[in-house]
Amino acid sequence: MRGFWVTVALEESPLSAEAVLDVSGLTTRFSTPDGVVHAVNDVSFELRAGEFLGVVGESGSGKSVTMMSLLKLIPMPPGHIDAGVADFGGDDLLSIDAAALRTIRGGQIGFIFQDPMTSLNPVLTIGKQLCEPVMLHTGADRKAAKARAIELLDLVGIPDAAQRFKNYPHELSGGMRQRVMIAMALACEPKVIIADEPTTALDVTIQAQIIDLVKDLREKLNTAVIWITHDLGVVAGLADRVIVMYGGRIVEQSPVAELYARPEHPYTQGLLNSVPRIDQKGGELTSIPGQPPSLLAEPTGCSFAPRCPHAFDRCLTEIPQLAAIDAAGEHLSACFWDTVEGRERT
Amino acid sequence: MTETMNAPTPAPDGASTGAPILEVTDLKKHFPIMKGLVRRKVGDVRAVDGISFQIRKGETLGLVGESGCGKSTTGRVILQLDRATEGSVKYEGEELVGKSTSQMRGLRPNMQMVFQDPHASLNPRMTVASIIEEPLIEHRFGDRAERLAWIEELLGLVGLSPTHANRYPHEFSGGQRQRIGIARAIALNPDFVVCDEPIAALDVSIQAQVVNLLERLQDELSLTYLFISHDLSMVRHLADRVAVMYLGRMVELAPVDALYESPQHPYTQALHSAVPVPNPIVEFGRERIILKGDIPSPANPPSGCSFHTRCPIATAECAERVPEWRETNPGHWVACHLV
Ligand SMILES: Nc1ncnc2c1ncn2[C@@H]1O[C@H](COP(=O)(O)OP(=O)(O)OP(=O)(O)O)[C@@H](O)[C@H]1O
Ligand SMILES: Nc1ncnc2c1ncn2[C@@H]1O[C@H](COP(=O)(O)OP(=O)(O)O)[C@@H](O)[C@H]1O
Ligand code: SF4
Ligand code: SF4
Ligand SMILES: [Mg+2]
Ligand SMILES: [Mg+2]
């Protein structure tokens, strides 16, 4: 909802708010038997206080690895973070010690995963799992933690919260489990929540319930949210700003209304043309030819070049850098071609 | 018994233009629930619970609904890959329910299926050529040279190259594997193809490729499709008529424009409004119908109208009586007391 107004009232929007998280030059690779996977290449972005940042891209484009690298949630080895700084309130998340990172993880930064079953412990009641982080991060005693846990279950719309407190994860439906995950992420009133495809596994009417809940919570809590998804529709309704990833890089970044009205990068344009809309009669779907790139080779040019209708010789030998294409410096694209002017960008 | 109360005997669709290739009448598929050491039957999962509809020659009928509502089971029972518990499936006027496997064999070439998971549905130890050749051999299609020539042509039809013939499935991307599955499905020149979530496992940019391929093949080979999907936007793009299922029953069936522009059933309306639109300005102005609660289990469906536990306009009657499946406008079928 806010996304729209943000762009309409660009001046006094949270777009100009300070950054709570400032990532630059993040590079993460995996050493596998097949070779080195260049999963995240020189990724830089900031998350501003209270904003909702959407991250879209196809599977394998590096969305999860980017965010999980920030909290060292990737398996290391085979993963290794080879470069980058992630400034979070003066600390560099990528270089602080393990104990400090643990306090931040689940405390000031909450994480919500696609499949709640992988992050909930099947042999503990959801109540116990909610109380633990509350006690750990706020120093509350058992009784206070329980009261807080029930309050949180209530907040995320779980009926009969006091009863449900005693349930095990398998006794809940997928939608309810995702609500519990949200409650856990909120437990310590984090400054930042990172949600990785939190509704992808859910049915569409249940997804609508969760999105409705998240919108409602945002108004109440004013937490900054990073929401990873491959669904361009979900982002359109939720985000203030959007990052588009392709081949382990950010290829476009923009306020939400601007991105959908004037997508700049040929990949974003192709993506928007290839999805049908429920509110429109079907015309031709323009598909993007070819396939997403393999990340096994070190890129030497634009990784979209084999599929790009505008590719020219420069695209094969030089990696395009993300750069502002509007006066306000809010809309960024990583492409050598100016699709509006129809000529090479200078 | 509640199911027999409304005993939906369908009249042929009023607005019908093409002749029906498939007629489904009061079809049911119940899976027994077994419990305990002696495997006693304690109940039934009513995966498909009395549905009636037709598919016309050359059309695409979209079948939509949320996970577990019985879409795949419907597709499988139509093709007799699962046996019906009750009801009738007529293909070109011929009853399929009750046919033996060998009796079905003669009909198999006409009716094929494309599966959701392009990884699981292709044998990893077989080359692309042998995967496509298998049904050809089974149905004694030509000699080896003729088969190989046809396989080459099929690969071209689905946008692969003849050089792919001797490779193995793991050497292909998801979209390419789905093309192999499609080549196999059309190898015997079928008339009717059930596509069960053929794009659900694919990346967004690849989905459009496969859908465009399916549409082109439909034109070139005059195929009839039952297109099963939970993606309502894609179904709007490619279906001629659309059926909506909820907990094993059909709740609405209508020509595509009517279903999307004036949905009548409260569930269809909610389903619609839940689908996000990739346009922030549209999203900003949209009113959402947020359904309460979860989808009930088909092992224990609610009484009366099975949607009544979540329906925003349910009345007392809804919990008691199963709504009748009736034609409210020519070609527009709905099961709701209040429509
Ligand atoms: N072989 C089986 N034995 C027992 N129950 C089954 C079997 N096959 C399906 N079911 C049940 O029947 C119901 C309908 O299943 P079906 O696979 O047809 O759903 P669907 O609409 O295709 O769902 P999805 O969108 O998840 O693919 C579900 O509750 C399912 O668990
Ligand atoms: N544990 C791992 N080992 C090797 N490669 C990995 C691992 N985790 C992720 N990758 C690779 O990193 C790339 C980016 O993955 P990911 O960030 O998960 O993509 P997505 O955008 O779908 O979230 C992919 O090529 C993926 O295969
Ligand atoms: S840099 Fe070149 S290949 Fe890459 S998106 Fe732009 S025009 Fe296309
Ligand atoms: S019959 Fe009743 S419960 Fe069912 S959809 Fe209609 S109004 Fe709702
Ligand atoms: Mg991911
Ligand atoms: Mg299915």
* Helices B128-138 and B144-157, axial angle in degrees (round to 10): 120
Mean pLDDT over all residues of chain B? 90
Contact B280 A4 (CB under 8 A): yes
Do B30 and B73 contact (CB within 8 A), yes or no?
Answer: no
What is the model's pLDDT at position A125?
93
Q: What is d(CA A51, CA A225) in angstroms, rounded to the nearest whole number?
A: 6
Nearest CA in chain B to A158: B293
Per-residue HEC secondary structure of chain A comes to CHHHHHHHCCCCCHHHCCEEEEEEEEEEEEEECCEEEEEEEEEEEEEECCCEEEEECCCCCCHHHHHHHHCCCCCCCCEEEEEEEEEECCEECCCCCHHHHHHHECCCEEEECCCHHHHCCCCCCHHHHHHHHHHHHHCCCHHHHHHHHHHHHHHCCCCCHHHHCCCCHHHCCHHHHHHHHHHHHHCCCCCEEEEECCCCCCCHHHHHHHHHHHHHHHHHHCCEEEEEECCHHHHHHHCCEEEEEECCEEEEEEEHHHHHHCCCCHHHHHHHHHCCCCCCCCCCCCCCCCCCCCCCCCCCCCCCHHHCCCCCHHHHHCCCCCEECCCCCCCEECCCEECCCCEECC
Contact B208 A287 (CB under 8 A): yes
Q: Report DSSP state, residue B13.
A: P
The CB of B72 under 6 Å from ligand 1? The reply is yes
**Residue range B110-139, pLDDT digits in tens:** 999 998 877 778 899 999 999 999 999 988
Q: What is d(CA B23, CA B104) in angstroms, rounded to the nearest whole number?
A: 17
Q: How confident is the model over B9-26, as a mean pLDDT? A: 67
Distance B96 CA to ligand 3 centre (A): 54
Distance B168 CA to ligand 2 centre (A): 23
Write out chain B residues lying below 8 Å of A231, CB-based: 276
Distance B210 CA to ligand 6 centre (A): 18
Number of H helices, E strands in chain B: 11, 12
**Residue range B303-338, pLDDT digits in tens:** 999 999 999 999 999 999 999 999 999 999 999 999
How does pLDDT run along chain A (346 residues), one tens digit per residue?
Answer: 333 333 343 434 455 578 999 999 999 999 999 899 999 999 999 999 999 999 999 888 999 999 999 999 999 899 999 999 999 999 999 999 999 998 898 889 998 887 777 788 899 999 999 998 888 888 889 999 999 999 889 888 888 888 889 999 988 888 888 889 888 888 888 899 999 998 888 889 989 988 988 888 888 888 899 999 999 999 999 999 999 999 999 999 999 999 999 999 999 999 999 999 999 887 788 889 988 888 998 889 999 999 999 999 999 999 999 999 999 999 999 999 998 888 999 8
Give A 217-246 residues with CB within 8 A of chain B. 230-237
Report pTM: 0.88
pLDDT band at B233 (very low <50, low <70, confident <90, very high): very high
What is the model's pLDDT at position A16?
57
Distance B67 CA to ligand 1 centre (A): 8
- Hey, whose CA ends up nearest to atom 3 of ligand 3? A305
Q: What is d(CA A165, CA B211) in angstroms, rounded to the nearest whole number?
A: 45
The CB of B75 under 6 Å from ligand 1? The reply is no
**Residue range B154-209, pLDDT digits in tens:** 998 888 888 889 999 988 878 888 899 999 999 998 999 999 999 888 888 889 99
Q: Which among B205, B257, B271 has CB closest to A270?
A: B205
pLDDT at B218 over 90: yes
Q: What is d(CA A298, CA B4) in angstroms, rounded to the nearest whole number?
A: 65
Do A141 and A132 contact (CB within 8 A), yes or no?
Answer: no
Q: Which two tokens stand for residue A273?
A: 């043309």
Contact A291 B175 (CB under 8 A): yes
Q: Which helix (H) or strand (E) holds B66?
A: none
Q: How confident is the model over B223-238, as a mean pLDDT? A: 95
The CB of B71 under 6 Å from ligand 1? The reply is yes
Evaluate the omega torsion of the peptide bond into residue A133 and state whether it is cis, within 30 degrees of 0.
Answer: no
Write out chain B residues lying below 8 Å of A277, CB-based: 233, 236, 277-279
pLDDT at B5 over 80: no
pLDDT at B7 over 60: no
Contact A276 B274 (CB under 8 A): no
Q: What is d(CA B311, CA B313) in angstroms, rounded to the nearest whole number?
A: 6
pLDDT at B292 over 50: yes
Atom of ligand 1 nearest to the CA of B72: 22
Its ipTM equals 0.86
Distance B43 CA to ligand 6 centre (A): 22
Q: Which two tokens stand for residue B103?
A: 């009796």
Q: What is d(CA B306, CA B321) in angstroms, rounded to the nearest whole number?
A: 10
Give the best residue of A279, A281, A286, A296 to mutate against chain B (max B CB count within 10 A).
A279
A196 has which bridge partners? A228
Write out chain B residues lying below 8 Å of A199, CB-based: none
Atom of ligand 2 nearest to the CA of A57: 21
Helix, strand, coil tally for chain B in percent (to 5) = 35, 25, 40
